Amino acid sequence: MKPKVIVVDDDAYCLTTIKSLFAEKNISVEALSSAEQAIELIANYPTQFKMAIIDYQMPVPGDKVVREIKHINPEIYTVILSADETKSAATACRDAGADHFYRKEKSTDNILLLAEVALHKVKKKNLSEDEYHRNKTKIERILKLKGRSNALLEVAEKVEVFSDATENVLITGESGVGKEQVAKAVHLNSTRKSKPFIPVNCGAIPSNLIESELFGHTKGAFTGATENKAGKFLAANEGTIFLDEIGEMSLDLQVKLLRVLQEREIVPVGSNRPIKLNVRVIAATNRNLKKEISAGRFREDLYYRLNILPIYVPSLSERKEDIVPIVEFIIDKKNNETGEIKTITPAALKTLEGHVWQGNVRELDGAVRQAYALSREVIETKAFAEYLNADPSLKIERIGSAEEFPSYKEFVKTILNQIERKYLEKALILTNGNKPKAAELAKIPYTTYLNKREKLGLDWKTEA
C-alpha cells in the first residue's frame, strides 16, 4: 500500500512515535528527516499524499515547507507540530497555508487526533469528473435522489439488480437516511411500477389495530368493525407493500406475517377464508435485527424470510460527498417554491460537509430549511449556528474576550433552549415524523409537546 501521509521532522524519536501511532490505525507513513527530500517526493508524486505533518523547527522552517507543498498540491492537508509557542510562529504557518498548528507539548494527544483525521483523509477517494457525472446520473435515474458518492452508487446498483426479482427485500440503515425512497425506487424500477406501492409504518400503528390494518377485517370482527375492510396487503395486490420499522412489530404479529410470506395469502381478522395474493414485500428497519433475535424480540425465521435481498443505506457520515448536492437541491426547491433567488456560500457548504449529521438527511433537510428561512439573499455559516454549536463546551471555548462573556442567565437559557429543541426533534425523528408518537416517546402530553414546539419555533419543519 502506498503511503498517504508524509511526515517531516529532524527528530528521530518524533518520527518513530508518529509512525507507531499511525500504524495502529493501519495508516502507512513516509517519514523523512529532510524537508528538501520531502518536497522533492511530493513534487514527483503530487496526488499520492493526502496529509503532511511538518516540524516547524528545522533548517528549512515549517512555514516555508508548507508554502512549497501547497504550491505543488493545495489539496494536501498540512499540519505543523511546533515547540515554538509564539503567536508569530502560528501566524507565519497559517499565512503559508497550513491547515492546523499544534504545539509539541501535547504531541501524543495531538498525533492521536491527527491519526483520526488522517484515517478519514486516506479513506476518502476524490472522484474524478467522469466518476462524478456517472454517479450523479445513475443515482438520480434509479433512486431519484441527489448524490454523487460511490457509497450511494452501490445502493443504486443493488436497486437496479433487485428490482425485477420477486424475492423479499430488507433495507437497513440509520433513521433519516432515506430507506422509504430506496423502497420506492425498487418498486418504480420493477415490472410492478404501474401497480400500487403501499407504505406501512409498523411503529406508528397501535398494536391492537395493526393486524386489522395489514390483513383487513370482516364486519363485526371486533367492537367498532362496522363494515368489511380490505387491509394494506390486499390494497397492494399485484404491487409492492413496504413495511417500514419492521423491528417494532410484536412477536405475535411476526408469526402471522411469517405465514403470509410462506403461503402468499392473508386471512382477515374475523374470517377463516384465506385470500391469495401476489405482493412484493419490502421491509426496512434502523435496528440491528440480529441483536434483536439474540434478545428474543425478533423471530429468526422471519428475518431469513425477509433478508433474501439485503440493501444497506449508508449514513451521511459514510457518504459526505452527498451533502453538498442535497443542500443545493433543497435550496433550489425552496427558491422554486418562494420565487426568491437565495444562494449559499462555499464556506457554509464546506462546514456542512464536515459536520456529523446524527439525524442524517432528515436533520440536514431541517437545518437547511431553517437557515433558508433565517437568511436574506445569501445563506452563511452563521445561519446554521444552532445545529453546528450544539455542544455547550464548544460555545464556551469560542468566547474570546471578557466583553463577549454572556451572563449566566442568558447563557443557560440559550443552552437549555438548544437542548430542548434537539430533544423534541430527536423524538420526532425516532417516530418518523409522527407528533403524537413523539409526545408519547417523550412521556409528555401531546398538547404540551405541540406548545413547546410552537414556543421554540419548530412547527415550520414537520407536520404530524
- What residue ranges define each of the domains in the chain, with the CATH number in brackets? 5-123 (3.40.50.2300), 132-314 (3.40.50.300), 316-388 (1.10.8.60), 391-464 (1.10.10.60)
Cα 26 to chain centroid distance, Å, stands at: 25
Looking at 32-36, 90-94, 275-279, 331-335, which range is the least confident one? Answer: 90-94
* Phi–psi pair at 63, nearest 5 degrees: -65, -35
- Let me know if 87 is exposed, middle or buried by CB neighbors in 10 A (0-12, 13-18, 19+): exposed
Mean pLDDT of all residues belonging to the chain: 84
Contact between residue 137 and residue 131 where contact means Cβ atoms under 8 Å apart: no
Reported as a pLDDT band with limits 50, 70 and 90, residue 80 is confident
Place of cell 395489514: 214
Q: Average of pLDDT values for 250-278?
A: 90
pLDDT at 176: 87
Can you tell me which residue has the cell 418562494?
Answer: 338
pLDDT digits (tens, 9 = 90+) for 305-354: 999 999 999 888 788 889 999 999 999 999 999 999 999 998 889 888 87
C-alpha span between 166 and 188 (Å, rounded): 14
More confident residue, 90 or 147: 147
pLDDT at 153 (0 to 100): 93
Higher pLDDT, 453 or 136: 136
| Beta pairing, strands 29-32 & 51-55 | unpaired
Tell me if 311 sits within 8 A of 185, measured CB to CB. Answer: no
Residue 209, amino acid: L
Does position 125 have pLDDT exceeding 70, yes or no?
Answer: no
Q: What is the pLDDT of residue 23?
A: 78
| 93 pLDDT above the threshold of 60 | yes
Q: Can you give the length of the chain in residues?
A: 464
Look at residue 462 in the predicted model and tell me its pLDDT.
31
Residue 71 — very low, low, confident or very high, per pLDDT cuts 50/70/90? confident
Where do runs of H (alpha helix) occur along 375-407?
A: 385-388, 392-397
3-state secondary structure of 457: coil
Task: Tell me the pairing of strands 77-82 and 51-55.
Answer: parallel
Q: List Cβ neighbours of 270 (8 Å cut-off, separation of 6 or more).
A: 217, 218, 219, 220, 221, 222, 225
pLDDT of 425 > 80? The answer is: no
- Pick from 307, 328, 296, 284: which is nearest to 432 by CA? 284
Q: In angstroms, how far apart are the furthest CA atoms of the chain?
A: 91
pLDDT in tens, 192-244: 999 999 999 988 888 778 888 898 878 766 767 768 788 899 999 999 999 99
Give the range among 14-23, 183-192, 304-313, 377-386 with minimum mean pLDDT: 14-23
Distance CA 186, CA 174 (A): 19
Is residue 367 predicted with pLDDT exceeding 50?
Answer: yes
At 127 the pLDDT is: 63
The predicted pLDDT at position 421 comes to: 74
**Residue type at position 146:** K
Q: Give the pLDDT score at 458.
A: 57
